[in-house]
Chains A and B, each alone.
Chain A
Amino acid sequence: MNNILEVENLKAYYLLKTVSGVIAAKVHAVDGVSLTIKSGEIVGIAGESGCGKSTLAKAMYGWIAPPLQIFEGSVFYDVGDKKINILKADEEGLRRIWWNIVSYIPQGSMDVLNPTMRIKDHFFNVIKFHSENFDKEEAEKTVLKHLDELGLPREVLTSFPHQLSGGMKQRVVIALATILGCNVIIADEPTTALDVMVQRGILQLLTDIQKKLNCSIILITHDMGVHAQITDRIAIMYAGKIVEMGPTDRIFEDPQQPYTKFLISSLPRIGDKSKKTSIGGRPPSLIKPPKGCRFHPRCPLATEICREVEPPLVKVNHEHYASCHLLR
Chain B
Amino acid sequence: MSSRIKHYINRFEIFLRHRTSITISFTMVMAILVLGFVVSNFAPFDPRRWNVVPRDQPPSQKYLLGTTTLGQDVFWLLTYSIRNSIILGVVGSVVGLAIGGLLGLIAGYKGGLTEKIILVFADTFIVIPGLPILILLSTMVKKQLNMVLLGLIIASLTWGMPVRNVRSMVLSLREREFTYTSLFSGFKIFNVILSEYTPHILPWVAASFISRINMAIGMEVTLAVFGLSSLGEATLGTMIYWALQYQSVLRGLWWWIFAPVGTVVFIVLSFYMLSGGVAEYLNPRTRLYRIVTKEEVEESE
Chain A residue with minimal CB distance to B301? A288
Which of B117-125, B128-136, B208-216, B292-300 lines the interface with chain A?
Answer: B292-300
A256-293: contact bitstring with B at CB < 8 Å (1 yes, 0 no)?
A: 00000000000000000000000000000101100000
Q: Which among A18, A19, A25 is the interface contact of B300 at CB below 8 angstroms?
A: A25
Contact, CB under 8 Å: A287 / B296: yes
Interface residue A16 (Cβ < 8 Å from any Cβ of B): yes
Q: How far is the CB of A193 from chain B (nearest CB, A)?
A: 16
Q: How far is the CB of B296 from chain A (nearest CB, A)?
A: 5
A19 to chain B, nearest CB (A): 7
State whether A287 and B300 are in contact (beta carbons under 8 Å apart), knowing that A16-B293, A24-B293, A25-B293 are contacts in the complex. yes
Q: Tell me the A7-31 residues at the B interface (CB within 8 Å).
A: 16, 18-19, 24-25
Tally of chain B residues near chain A (CB < 8 A): 6
- B296, A25: Cβ atoms closer than 8 Å: yes
A21 to chain B, nearest CB (A): 14
A18 vs B292: C-alpha distance when bound (angstroms): 12
Q: Find out whether the CB atom of B19 lies under 8 angstroms from the CB atom of A25.
A: no
The CA-CA distance from A24 to B297 in the complex, in Å, is 6
Q: How far is it, in angstroms, between the C-alpha of A312 and the C-alpha of B29 when the chains are bound?
A: 62
Q: Is the CB of A285 within 8 A of B296?
A: yes
Nearest CB of chain B from residue A31's CB, rounded to whole Å: 15
Bound Cα distance from A19 to B289, whole angstroms: 12
Contact of B299 among A16, A18, A19, A288 (CB under 8 A): A288
Select which of A16, A19, A24 is within 8 A of B19 by beta carbon.
A19
Cβ of B293 to closest chain A Cβ, rounded Å? 5
Determine the residue in chain B with the shortest Cβ distance to A19.
Answer: B19
Interface positions, chain A 161-218, Cβ under 8 Å from B, are none
Within 8 A of A (CB), among B186-208: none
Residues of A within 8 A of B297 (CB): 24-25
Q: How far is the CB of B282 from chain A (nearest CB, A)?
A: 16
CA distance A16 to B289 in the complex (A): 11
Decide if B299 touches A287 in the complex (CB within 8 Å).
Answer: yes
Closest CB-CB distance, B150 to chain A, in whole Å? 40
Name the CB-closest residue of A to B289.
Answer: A16
A18 to B296 alpha-carbon distance, docked (Å)? 13
Inter-chain contacts of A19 with B (CB < 8 A): 19
Min distance, Cβ A14 to any Cβ of chain B, angstroms: 12
Q: A287-B299, A288-B299 are in contact. Are A18 and B19 (CB under 8 A)?
A: no
Residues of the A chain whose Cβ atoms lie less than 8 Å from the Cβ of B300 = 25, 287-288
- The interface residues of chain A lying within 8 Å CB-to-CB of B19 are 19
* A120 to B297 alpha-carbon distance, docked (Å): 47
Q: How far is the CB of A15 from chain B (nearest CB, A)?
A: 12
Q: How far is the CB of B184 from chain A (nearest CB, A)?
A: 24
Give Cα A114–Cα B300 distance, bound, in whole angstroms: 40
Nearest A residue (CB) for B293: A24
Chain B residues whose C-beta falls within 8 Å of the C-beta of A288 in the assembled complex: 296, 299-300
A285 to B300 CA separation, bound complex (whole angstroms): 10
Please encode chain B, from 277 to 301, with 1 for each CB lying within 8 Å of some chain A CB and 0 for all others.
0000000000000000100110110
Contacts of A24 in B (CB 8 A): 293, 296-297
Q: Per-position contact with B for A220-258: 1 when CB-CB < 8 Å, else 0?
A: 000000000000000000000000000000000000000
In the complex, what's the smallest C-beta–C-beta distance from B281 to chain A, in angstroms?
12
List the A residue with the shortest CB-CB distance to B290. Answer: A18
| Chain B contacts with A in 1-55, Cβ cutoff 8 A | 19
Closest partner residue, chain B, to A22 (CB atom) = B297
**Bound-complex Cα distance A24 to B293 (A):** 7
CB-nearest residue of chain A to B19: A19
CB distance from B290 to the nearest CB of A (A): 9
Q: Which residues of B contact A25 (CB under 8 A)?
A: 293, 296-297, 300
Q: Which of B19, B296, B300 has the most CB of A within 10 A?
A: B296
Chain A min CB distance to B177 (Å): 16
A66 vs chain B, min Cβ distance (A): 16
**Separation of A285 and B296 alpha carbons in the complex (Å):** 9
Assembled-state Cα–Cα distance A18/B19 (Å): 11
Q: Which residues of A lie under 8 Å from residue B293 when comparing CB positions?
A: 16, 18, 24-25
Task: Report Cα–Cα, A285/B293, bound state, in Å.
Answer: 12
Least distance between A238 CB and chain B CB atoms (Å): 19
Tell me how far the C-beta of A274 lies from the nearest C-beta in chain B, rounded to whole angstroms. 33
Roughly how many angstroms separate A261 CA and B19 CA in the complex, as a whole number?
50
User: How far apart are B14's CB and chain A's nearest CB, in angstroms?
Assistant: 13
CA of A266 to CA of B137, assembled, Å: 73
Q: How far is the CA of A16 from the CA of B19 in the complex (A)?
A: 18
Task: Give the distance in Å from the alpha carbon of A285 to the alpha carbon of B299 in the complex.
Answer: 10
List of B residues within 8 angstroms of A18 by Cβ: 293
Bound: A285/B297 CA distance, A? 11
Give the CA-CA distance A24 to B296 in the complex, in Å.
Answer: 9
Tell me the nearest residue of chain B to A16, going by C-beta: B293
Chain B residues with CB under 8 A of A16: 293
Nearest-neighbour CB distance to chain B for A323, whole angstroms, equals 24
CA distance A256 to B300 in the complex (A): 32
18 A-B residue pairings within 8 Å (CB atoms): A16-B293, A18-B293, A19-B19, A24-B293, A24-B296, A24-B297, A25-B293, A25-B296, A25-B297, A25-B300, A285-B296, A285-B299, A287-B296, A287-B299, A287-B300, A288-B296, A288-B299, A288-B300
User: What are the 4 A-B residue pairs with the smallest beta carbon separation, nearest first?
Assistant: A288-B300, A287-B296, A24-B293, A25-B296
Measuring CB to CB, which residues of chain B are less than 8 angstroms from any residue of chain A? 19, 293, 296-297, 299-300
Given contacts A24-B297, A285-B296, A288-B300, 15 further A-B contacts (CB under 8 A): A16-B293, A18-B293, A19-B19, A24-B293, A24-B296, A25-B293, A25-B296, A25-B297, A25-B300, A285-B299, A287-B296, A287-B299, A287-B300, A288-B296, A288-B299
